[in-house]
Structure 1
């Protein structure tokens, strides 16, 4: 008789695990645990991961999404900052999905501080990211792990909108441009508050992405991102004024913008990632 697949966690199982650990979910760490099996299966389905994937999961918590990823046949590298949760996760997987336990690796660490991961290069990132650090974690892992080809993350709804925003949108900003450097990003749906314990006071959204080659340029990503940060630091200013500090003077900023083919009084929210690259190139050329 074939072995049964992983059993997923529901509300009773999540609360039981939390009680055994004497766990009080931490707002500081953004701990809101998914208690709905249909939601984690939906996340895995939308992510497109399968048996050929090595998946990084940040903030696995009590293991709801971990079990669904293992159910899909993926290998999972789970990065968990809470020592109690990191220590308990292998035991939970051994109990609910014993046949998949050898496909789980737990890394007890802060995802923002990791510099490498054990095992084969990961191919996907699928996670219910801690909402208070979701954008920095996403950008850090995209930078650190060039082997990541695709991913799907659950974040606060407003952050999901920003990450997937196109130039000209009211919510287009630094996260939009920096994510676009690495990947094609799209909104992949909404998630209700009732699927979490404790129930958050914000709505959630899914963001899917596929890796693409960064723009071809002689300047560094750091140089381009410095232009992005400066352009949005004072959103009401035209780029000529916003980039003054970076360029050294208003005149130098205007000259660089004209070289890049950008109207000096334009604002950052109207520019695509390629426009920021051309500005960074013009600024570098002006200082050469």
Structure 2
């Protein structure tokens, strides 16, 4: 069982006091204080010891210290400059720990690869909830070597990530993430497992990369544009939504007919494969 010496209120509080720190709600800081949750995260991550792990929002390093026991290398990205001395202290104790100070959405894959000594293969994090969904999609889009992610997110975000067509939480984000990966595991985490306790419920999800969803000759970015147009006006039919967002009606009608999609369909009833087929026809008709 993999645990962290910081995964309890006393140890976390003492560390924060040692460095004169406090949590910052604007950065979405809620420190994990439950080793049972950490054990389950590590079990889902299935680290074999040779992975380069990427982490975002390490905070005071609670999850980080557990990951360092199982991974070849852990590279963390932290936005709060006041936490740099804490991470420096961890780096002095662990030769396989590196960190980057900055905004995870602005740090480039090249910077991450340089810090990690190679491309990250696994993403494990207790993510800042206000940017979690964006980070997950961006990392799968820009880091092709990333095989899987095990991330703590707000329960509502987990619901969006794992939603299926016809579900009210299924939307453009879910479909776009589905171009790269799919959810293969999940468990809930109550507020009492954090310090301070958040006002929302949390969940950990495992997301595995899936190859071959989009044919090599088809640009994923174009498929994403099709998805965005389809969901742009969610209450409208897919024909009306897409025609109001850059696609000609005659081209749409030909593509719908070729795909066997009724123009009166709503976007939330289509799965990822439907959007891929539709994009292929739209490219062909164009």
Looking at structure 1, the residues matched to 181 and 8 of structure 2 have their Cα atoms a distance apart, in angstroms, of 33
Between stretches 74-83 and 126-135, larger displacement belongs to: 74-83
What is the distance in 2 between the residues matched to 1:144 and 1:217? 16
- Rounded to whole Å, the distance in 2 between the matches of 1:202 and 1:186 is 23
**Distance in 1 (alpha carbons) for counterparts of 2:156 and 2:130:** 12
Write the mapping of 1:12-23 to structure 2, written as runs, cut at 5 A: 12-23=10-21
1:246/1:277 Cα in 2 relative to 1: closer, same or farther (>3 Å)? farther
Partner deviation per Cα, 1:221-253 (whole Å, 9 max, x = no partner): 111111111211211111010100345433432
What is the aligned partner in structure 1 of residue 167 from structure 2? 169
Cross-structure match for 1:274: 273
Measured in 1, the distance between the counterparts of 2:10 and 2:48 equals 28
Which residues in structure 2 correspond to 1:204-219 (within 5 Å)?
A: 204-213=202-211, 214-219=213-218
TM-score in terms of structure 2 length: 0.91
1:207-226 CA distance string (max 9 Å, x none): 11111113215331111111
Segments of 5+ residues of structure 1 without an aligned counterpart are none
Shift of 1:153: 0.5
TM-score (normalizing by structure 1)? 0.90
Q: CA RMSD in A?
A: 1.8
* Residues 161-199 of structure 1: CA deviation (Å, up to 9, x unaligned): 110112222211122112211112134110010011111
C-alpha distance in structure 1 between counterparts of 2:57 and 2:268, whole Å: 32
Q: Equivalent residue for 1:57? A: 55
Change (3 A) 1:102 1:6: farther
Equivalences for 1:1-288 in 2 at 5 Å?
Answer: 7-92=5-90, 94=92, 98=93, 101-115=94-108, 116=110, 117=112, 118=114, 119-213=117-211, 214-287=213-286
Distance in 2 of aligned mates of 1:211 and 1:90: 32
Gapped regions of structure 2 (runs ≥ 5): none
Q: After superposition, what is the alpha-carbon deviation per residue over 1:122-161, rounded to whole angstroms, capped at 9, x for unaligned? A: 1100001111111110111111211111121010001101
